Amino acid sequence: MTRSDLVELLAERFGQLTHRDAEAAVKTILDTMSDALTRGHRIEVRGFGSFSINRRAPRLGRNPRTGESVQIPERRVPHFKPGKALRETIGAQSVDIEETV
């Protein structure tokens, strides 16, 4: 599902919203979530999951072409942890798929 798919679904589901309003709503939500993560905040959507920032420690890597060692700096990366309801929903669907095959 893409951003434009979300906009279309929102516009279809709520007839009083124009396509432009739905697009603005999706953009506002995603921008607000990005800003919160950038500031180091944790985002929790009950029943869906939580977004947070994880720290990757600096480490020694290797250039695959030359084989020389390269120092990889510390990084902050986004992390998503699915909520219990989402895990159970996906788990139940995967069981249904396995049974039909």
Which CATH number goes with the domain that contains 81?
4.10.520.10
pLDDT score recorded for residue 32: 97
The Cα–Cα gap between 47 and 30 comes to: 18
The verdict on 55 and 99 lying in the same domain is yes
Two tokens, residue 24 = 């603005």
Chain segment 8-59, per-residue pLDDT in tens: 999 999 999 999 999 999 999 999 999 999 999 999 999 899 999 999 999 9
The Cα–Cα gap between 57 and 75 comes to: 7
Check: pTM over 0.95? Answer yes or no: no
What is the domain range of residue 15?
1-39
The verdict on 34 and 52 lying in the same domain is no
Give the residue with greater pLDDT, 64 vs 94. 64
The Cα–Cα gap between 25 and 41 comes to: 21
The verdict on 8 and 47 lying in the same domain is no
The verdict on 91 and 51 lying in the same domain is yes
The verdict on 99 and 55 lying in the same domain is yes
The verdict on 17 and 55 lying in the same domain is no
pLDDT score recorded for residue 93: 74
Pairing, β 59-62 against β 69-72: antiparallel
Chain segment 75-97, per-residue pLDDT in tens: 999 999 999 999 999 888 765 55
Domain count within the chain: 2
The answer to whether the beta carbons of residues 58 and 71 sit under 8 Å apart is yes
The verdict on 35 and 74 lying in the same domain is no
pLDDT score recorded for residue 91: 84
